Amino acid sequence: MKQITLSEVASLLSQHDDFKILTHSYPDGDCLGCGYALAFALRKLGKRANVAVDGKLPSKFTYLVKNYEEQDFTPAYIVSVDVAAPALLGESVMEGVDHIDLCIDHHGTNSLDADCKYVDDTAAAAAEIIWEILELLHVEIDEDIAAGIYTGVSTDTGCFLYTNTTPQTHRIAAQVMPYCNWQEINNINFVIKTRAKLRMERLVYKTMEFHAAGQCAIIYTTLAMCEALKSGDDEMEGLANIPRRIEGVKIGITMREKPGGVFKISVRTNDGINAAEFCRQFGGGGHPAASGCSIEGDLGTVKKILVDAAEAYLQ
């Protein structure tokens, strides 16, 4: 594995063709925005590029693909975007892939194995890195590229509210806003909720518990809850932010039961508490204020493990 510079990333993309761009499981706005922005940009340069998404594209992000069609070719160069660990690559994404040529990411805990890697953990979103690459490649910006970049930087910063937001984040947003319908993107990602989403949130609020003198809040969803509401990934989007928004909470934990006796854990923190460090004890990682991991066990067991860990961490 070779750590490379941003200019070397641009050079590699210039030299190669027939790209398969990998995104992570449970795709969010940053990985999808990066993936499609990069694909559209490479196509503008006369290259062929497809984006691999694990499962069905979340319905809220269909605006990213209104001008996107799969191209028919055999991939020759594999690029991952916003993928921090091997476990985040689903089977469908990795179909026909035996190695990754280039990894582009902004997670300081990145453990992905790739021939070449560029990781900048000072970037608020991987989309910031993609934008800088496109500038080096002198790609002409259009609506599709701008929508992807704006989606990435806005969703990974909570519409520019999170502490990872920097002046550079705002500069990039300002550069792409004239080319895309950013008002609609904000409305889709931060304002409008489906009735199904509201029904799920109502159930989730009933699960909330407080620990460590109110400094830790924990919520959960179970397979039974999802089955009762016929809900899927779309309804899960954004639930992890609920505990963090409560006054006095320093560690907000969201548990999501998955098939096979495992819970997907999302941790969001305030007041300088390091979420990545907290999750690392369970084999996870991510960002200082937003990280995740997976823990095997039943609801009661996993919840106790997390509560005990949070109470110890906050002492």
The pLDDT of residue 238 is: 86
Residue 122 buriedness (CB in 10 A; 0-12 / 13-18 / 19+): exposed
pLDDT confidence tier of residue 290, bands split at 50, 70 and 90:
very high
- Pick the closest to residue 40 from 151, 162, 190 (CA basis): 151
H/E run at residue 200: helix 195-207
The pLDDT of residue 75 is: 97
Tell me, yes or no, whether 161 and 278 share the same domain: no
* CATH for 255: 3.10.310.30
Tell me, yes or no, whether 182 and 261 share the same domain: no
Q: In whole angstroms, what separates CA 55 from the centre of its chain?
A: 15
Q: Residue 29 sits in which domain range?
A: 2-191
Tell me, yes or no, whether 135 and 181 share the same domain: yes
CA–CA distance, 266 with 173 (Å, rounded to integer): 27
Mean pLDDT lowest among 115-129, 206-220, 222-236, 289-303: 222-236
The structure tokens 């940009």 sit at 41
Tell me, yes or no, whether 129 and 92 share the same domain: yes
Q: Which of 170, 191, 212 is the last residue of a domain?
A: 191
Tell me, yes or no, whether 52 and 176 share the same domain: yes
Tell me, yes or no, whether 228 and 90 share the same domain: no
Q: Which of 132, 160, 191 is the last residue of a domain?
A: 191
pLDDT confidence tier of residue 287, bands split at 50, 70 and 90:
confident
The share of the chain scoring above pLDDT 90, in percent, equals 88
Tell me, yes or no, whether 114 and 221 share the same domain: no
pLDDT in tens, 128-158: 999 999 999 999 999 999 999 999 999 999 9
The pLDDT of residue 233 is: 77
CA–CA distance, 205 with 217 (Å, rounded to integer): 11
Flag whether pLDDT at 123 surpasses 90. yes
* CATH for 77: 3.90.1640.10
Tell me, yes or no, whether 163 and 246 share the same domain: no
For the chain, state the CA radius of gyration.
19
pLDDT in tens, 183-213: 999 999 999 988 999 999 999 999 999 999 9
Q: Mean pLDDT in the chain? A: 96
Q: Considering its fold, how many domains does the chain have in total? A: 2
Q: In whole angstroms, what separates CA 184 from the centre of its chain?
A: 20
The pLDDT of residue 149 is: 99
Residue 235's Cβ-side half-sphere holds a number of Cα atoms within 13 Å equal to: 22
Q: Which of 173, 191, 209 is the last residue of a domain?
A: 191
Tell me, yes or no, whether 185 and 203 share the same domain: no
Tell me, yes or no, whether 186 and 73 share the same domain: yes
Tell me, yes or no, whether 13 and 62 share the same domain: yes
Tell me, yes or no, whether 265 and 218 share the same domain: yes
CA–CA distance, 45 with 2 (Å, rounded to integer): 26
